[in-house]
Structure 1
């Protein structure tokens, strides 16, 4: 069946036409193992693909190819010492300086070049790890991951079939530490079924973020490792970046309890580094379990860890055709989204699923607000079927994937199909359940919800995310099954159309409401602008009056200050008229002083004369013989009258002078 992609209408992805993809498709043969591989990787804008037939690593710059529209430039990394085993997976470390080539029979690490040249062949060193374990003792590799606590980003942890964890320093090929998970040994003969078929062996592991003490360096921190066994048991291994031997506890208690211990066919495990950590467990039957890693509340073991299962998800491992369908079983690999904590990916023989966990945002609230009770998981996780490569009818027919890599440059998943084609599985943003969006918008809007959540719920209820967006089925399926798939796809598109019409109606209604509210707000803004213009005009008038008053006040203050300075200065400068007036005032002052003295003398003389007259009158009264004639009395009276008139005239002159001085302000 040809590749069907509902995103073909978007012409923004041409990397599938790159030379390294075309060359890979032309040299790739049929894969009889029907097992998912990981032959591609991506990091720091560089795309890697492994050519098994040539034992070469072909690379291309994705950003440069998309920007310059160049699809034939590549760099070939040729290994100086090719690995002696079949490479099935590429593991790129976080600094993109080392690439681990892994397969069931061994592990090899090549050193990536610091500088890249276009259309060149670069010979790079490649070292093999654990040759005695894989080639000598013939143990198989179960899982390998780079240690996130490595200070040099050069430590690789492997899990082998002898139930042993080993930490290698790839710079010197030394074993930093090793940890045997049980005292039992596996059956080494490859033709005899081992305990992996019975689930009694470790199959996968992942790291848990350490709990750092204040001022504790990251190099000395203890990195816990959760090891998954095939029967669903999970062991807790505490490791360090030193040669100290790790400690093992487990299996961890899981609650609520289950009869089958949450599956006897566990296949993969990842840890989302939230607080508390969220552990994702997958089984071969298509069931995904979400659980929290918590500390036990028992008094006997206060530091013992336990797992609390909060959600179970059933995945469709392909398109189901017919009614009587047997249970499909295939391993499911898990890969976290490096840019979004609330999302991870499920890779299996039937395709790729993307799962978004709204519960992570509630865990953020739990830590941010120091809550004492864990939040309830009421909102189900959102499952998107990105790529479908299998059909389940009377038998399970699939086309396993050859590689998958998350490309943060385009926020999409590159999926390499068994036919050699590269598919760009675009990831729909889940803004309402994004932890990164929540961290930036929590301070802006405390109420998370609204139209976005309604649209997401409507799309989810319409079953859009449950159907694959890209379908690549095997070519050997029957015509009847193909017809049923086509009819079902047509019905799915019809449902998608109806759901989109509902969403469109909702958006149109919301847009009409927003448009009405916008018009009202525009009218209110216009009214406020007019009011602002009036207030601005009044403010300008008041400001002008204030400036005039301020200038007048400044002028008066200046004049008053000058007058005060002239008044209190030591040597005032007077004009000629002011000096003449001052001399006149001084002369008047002297005259007043003289007149005052004359007035005092006259008053004393008057008082003396009055006293003499009084004595004379008394004497005349007492002396009977004293007699003044008429002529003398008349002369005396005349003299006294003239003297009195002269005194009154002088007194009047003095009063007039005083009045003049009072008017001039010279005396008070």
Structure 2
């Protein structure tokens, strides 16, 4: 039951339908894994959990747990499943969102894939309007690289913070190369940086050299981004002395090797082949005989001023190092170690900048297990507290806090002296109060939040995911997913919370370009061939000479070797191929069912839209008829209102004047017509009398012609007068 109390939703989270569904399909055969993973992440109040069995991503809105009982009845708790159109072929151990939250990186030791987050709409802003299953476009990145180098391992993946479109992915591989890929073109790297000489010796013919370098810790194991810096750039002009100076924003990367050497690399995405340098190893103060250990596993840079670098070792020790710029004279003998690569378009004065140094402020040793003795290591081979890789997680709610996850639990580390360090860096040089406050010893605060293996006899239970809820409505909360799919929600202290971030209106606008869609995937049959590819085979035995029989022991050895080869290279791989085929069939069936469901939904929507269109057409016709009727009624009303006005309008006054003038003209025409009729009657009587008096009129030919012309003219005038009279009658309506 959900409740509105922010504290109660944490206790109800583990009973959410999402985790109930994941626990029902959990496979116990993979519970013996010893390394920690990151399969859970929270983005904008939504929780995402990777389901390795179904190769999909389950998501739910955490804010629904704050509903009251009445609201739960109207909107029950539910979850959505994001299906991959091209599921990752390798195992997924980590889930990482890009800064804008529209792409997800799914990666593990065998490769990385990117999933596009679907759009939201509807009343509750759910994916695809709230459908239970949503198909999401997914595609692999650097597929050719991992397909051609089967022994290559992916160590870390992160999104580049300087990407203008948030589509650049940074990957670190075991060949000591840091590559930046644009997911719009996932086949070829956008940039590559060689982090050492390991790539030259990393080949099929020198595998022992690679193992030797890894054993000495001379390969990179982790990296982290630091806050951006402005680096001067000199454009090359025609004259060497004439150079235009400008600055370019670059994003530093701290690269950690296994021997705890830290390197410094400046990256920029403005040019495809930039001219950058790899500086290091950075000097650590105070110096130590063992270089602070040779078993580093993870590095994290906290975005404070000055930057703070955290280095973790497999023995459970943490080093908090403050990054400060070194003196220029101390770097003269180190610039020869810097390697350059790239184009000659511009020359960055990165070498002119002093190399940064690491000042170890304090070291902390984590308590990985609650009990155990050195003799327990021999009794329990899987219990190795001295070889426990630690993964560092930043806390989005506070820059002065981070979290550690490992195979034996979760720790939280708070740094209360970071705020004092920030005030000291912002104060004047003569401010002695801030210096005195910083000099006071205030060590970090370490909290052992979750312990999954308290005693050596406990079975391995690595952490499957750690994430932080930074939503203000839910409250700062640490979510931990254990190996038995139990979600533990722990509230975080707000003593070290950061001030609210600046509003979007105060930030400079950044253009965001839409990534181009490109569908590219590895054929499934090729994936099956790769699984069935044999690394060893049984050779053809040479015929044994007559009279010579091998001993029983030799026959047994040959039989054992052949049986082992058949078991490892045939039967096991066929089982793996069968599992992949069954998994693929299940995924395709699920996708087919989902697509069929989508088609049925679309057909119903089309049918309903057609019916709605017909109803709307009928309503439109009725509305149009009503509109015409109302228009006529309005015209009649306006006419009646205009007719009842006591004062004539200008048009009516002008019309009255015209009618009066026409009335006068009609009277004049009527008089003229009457006169013409009178004259006609008079002439008719005269002609009759003359005809009576003179039986045969004597008119000359010229007189007759003249008379006809006069009569014709009079007749024409009379016809015109009649036409004018008729037109006047029509105009006056008589």
If the length of structure 2 is used for normalisation, what is the TM-score? 0.55
- Give the equivalent residue in structure 1 for 2:732: none
The offset of 1:435, in angstroms, is 4.8
Secondary structure in 2 matching 1:64: helix
CA distance in 1 between counterparts of 2:449 and 2:275 reads 42
1:382 aligned to 2:439? no
Q: Pick from 260, 266, 271 the counterpart of residue 238 of structure 1.
A: 266
Secondary structure in 2 matching 1:238: strand
What are the equivalent positions in structure 2 for 1:520-535 lying under 5 Å apart? Answer: none
- Give the equivalent residue in structure 1 for 2:360: 309
- Give the equivalent residue in structure 2 for 1:206: 224
The structure whose Rg is larger is: 1
CA distance in 2 between counterparts of 1:437 and 1:378 reads 28
The offset of 1:78, in angstroms, is 0.9
- Give the equivalent residue in structure 2 for 1:135: 147
- Give the equivalent residue in structure 2 for 1:270: 300
8 Å CA contact 1:177, 1:245 repeated in 2: no
- Give the equivalent residue in structure 1 for 2:161: 148
8 Å CA contact 2:316, 2:390 repeated in 1: yes
- Give the equivalent residue in structure 1 for 2:189: 175
- Give the equivalent residue in structure 2 for 1:196: 214
8 Å CA contact 2:256, 2:298 repeated in 1: yes
Secondary structure in 2 matching 1:128: strand
Secondary structure in 2 matching 1:175: coil
| Per-residue CA distance 1:607-651 (angstroms, 9 max, x = gap) | xxxxxxxxxxxxxxxxxxxxxxxxxxxxxxxxxxxxxxxxxxxxx
The offset of 1:361, in angstroms, is 0.9
8 Å CA contact 2:10, 2:489 repeated in 1: no
8 Å CA contact 1:179, 1:245 repeated in 2: no
| Per-residue CA distance 1:135-177 (angstroms, 9 max, x = gap) | 2112110111111111111111010011000111112325221
- Give the equivalent residue in structure 1 for 2:489: 424
CA distance in 2 between counterparts of 1:222 and 1:159 reads 19
- Give the equivalent residue in structure 2 for 1:101: 106
CA distance in 1 between counterparts of 2:59 and 2:189 reads 30
Secondary structure in 2 matching 1:199: coil
CA distance in 2 between counterparts of 1:317 and 1:79 reads 37
CA distance in 1 between counterparts of 2:428 and 2:293 reads 34
Mark the CA change 1:126 to 1:76 in structure 2 (over 3 Å): closer, same or farther: same
- Give the equivalent residue in structure 2 for 1:595: none
1:37 aligned to 2:37? yes
What are the equivalent positions in structure 2 for 1:348-363 lying under 5 Å apart? Answer: 348-363=406-421
- Give the equivalent residue in structure 2 for 1:625: none
Secondary structure in 2 matching 1:398: coil
Secondary structure in 2 matching 1:63: helix
8 Å CA contact 1:387, 1:425 repeated in 2: no
Secondary structure in 2 matching 1:270: strand
CA distance in 1 between counterparts of 2:408 and 2:45 reads 28
Q: Pick from 329, 333, 349 the counterpart of residue 299 of structure 1.
A: 329
The offset of 1:193, in angstroms, is 4.6
CA distance in 1 between counterparts of 2:163 and 2:501 reads 30
CA distance in 2 between counterparts of 1:400 and 1:144 reads 21
The offset of 1:195, in angstroms, is 3.6
CA distance in 1 between counterparts of 2:90 and 2:428 reads 51
Mark the CA change 1:95 to 1:37 in structure 2 (over 3 Å): closer, same or farther: same
8 Å CA contact 2:231, 2:250 repeated in 1: no
The structure showing larger relative contact order (alpha-carbon pairs under 8 Å, at least 6 residues apart) is 2
| Per-residue CA distance 1:330-385 (angstroms, 9 max, x = gap) | 00110111120110001111111111101211111112213479743610001111
8 Å CA contact 1:291, 1:309 repeated in 2: yes
- Give the equivalent residue in structure 2 for 1:225: 253
8 Å CA contact 1:239, 1:247 repeated in 2: no
1:436 aligned to 2:503? no
| Per-residue CA distance 1:505-533 (angstroms, 9 max, x = gap) | xxxxxxxxxxxxxxxxxxxxxxxxxxxxx
Mark the CA change 1:422 to 1:101 in structure 2 (over 3 Å): closer, same or farther: same
Q: Pick from 442, 463, 468 the counterpart of residue 406 of structure 1.
A: 468
State the number of aligned residues: 429
- Give the equivalent residue in structure 2 for 1:118: 130
Mark the CA change 1:168 to 1:255 in structure 2 (over 3 Å): closer, same or farther: same
CA distance in 2 between counterparts of 1:323 and 1:158 reads 37
Mark the CA change 1:11 to 1:55 in structure 2 (over 3 Å): closer, same or farther: closer
CA distance in 2 between counterparts of 1:130 and 1:42 reads 26
Mark the CA change 1:214 to 1:234 in structure 2 (over 3 Å): closer, same or farther: closer
If the length of structure 1 is used for normalisation, what is the TM-score? 0.60
- Give the equivalent residue in structure 1 for 2:397: 339
Secondary structure in 2 matching 1:167: strand
| Per-residue CA distance 1:450-479 (angstroms, 9 max, x = gap) | xxxxxxxxxxxxxxxxxxxxxxxxxxxxxx
CA root-mean-square deviation: 3.0
Q: Pick from 325, 328, 332 the counterpart of residue 386 of structure 2.
A: 328
Secondary structure in 2 matching 1:370: coil
8 Å CA contact 1:74, 1:118 repeated in 2: no
- Structure 1 unmatched runs, 5+: 1-7, 440-668
